[in-house]
Amino acid sequence: GEDVEQSLFLSVREGDSSVINCTYTDSSSTYLYWYKQEPGAGLQLLTYIFSNMDMKQDQRLTVLLNKKDKHLSLRIADTQTGDSAIYFCAEGPRGYQKVTFGTGTKLQVIP
């Protein structure tokens, strides 16, 4: 079955790098996503990686995928207070929206 797991909480100092980790179980997933959710808001897609890629970089964001271990990570460089939010890892085929989400990691950025 499908299952996505994340640690619940991460605290970093402003300016440091944040690394949020995720493990998934469905090896048939086509895409792996990172979403950001601020308090009282909907989901914002940050980035995604195709399952045959190892890494994707987009400005301050770096996604690493270890297909063997089914491990996905999101690195945020130079973390800012505005990055404080809940980050969801998710897996699923692109466009078809039966996306399976993790429980979310709450990122707290300390000024």
Partner 1 sequence: DAGVTQSPTHLIKTRGQQVTLRCSPISGHKSVSWYQQVLGQGPQFIFQYYEKEERGRGNFPDRFSARQFPNYSSELNVNALLLGDSALYLCASSFINRGGLKRTEAFFGQGTRLTVV
Among the listed ranges 11-19, 53-61, 65-73, 90-98, the one in contact with partner 1 (CB under 8 A) is: 90-98
- Asked if 101 touches partner 1 (CB under 8 A), the answer is yes
In the complex with partner 1, which residue's Cβ is closer, 14 or 31? 31
Q: With contact defined as beta carbons under 8 Å apart, do 6 and 102 qualify?
A: yes
Q: Which is nearer to partner 1, 49 or 76 (CB)?
A: 49
* Count of all residues that appear for the chain in the document: 111
Tell which positions 5-44 bind partner 1, by CB under 8 A: 31, 33, 35, 41-44
CB burial of residue 105 (10 Å; 0-12, 13-18, 19+): buried
Return the residue of 45, 55, 77, 110 that touches partner 1, per CB under 8 A.
45
Q: Does 4 bind partner 1 (CB under 8 A)?
A: yes
Beta strands in 1-111 (DSSP E): 4-6, 9-13, 18-24, 31-37, 44-50, 55-58, 61-66, 71-76, 85-92, 100-101, 105-110
Residues that bind partner 1 (CB under 8 A): 4, 31, 33, 35, 41-45, 48, 88, 90, 94-104
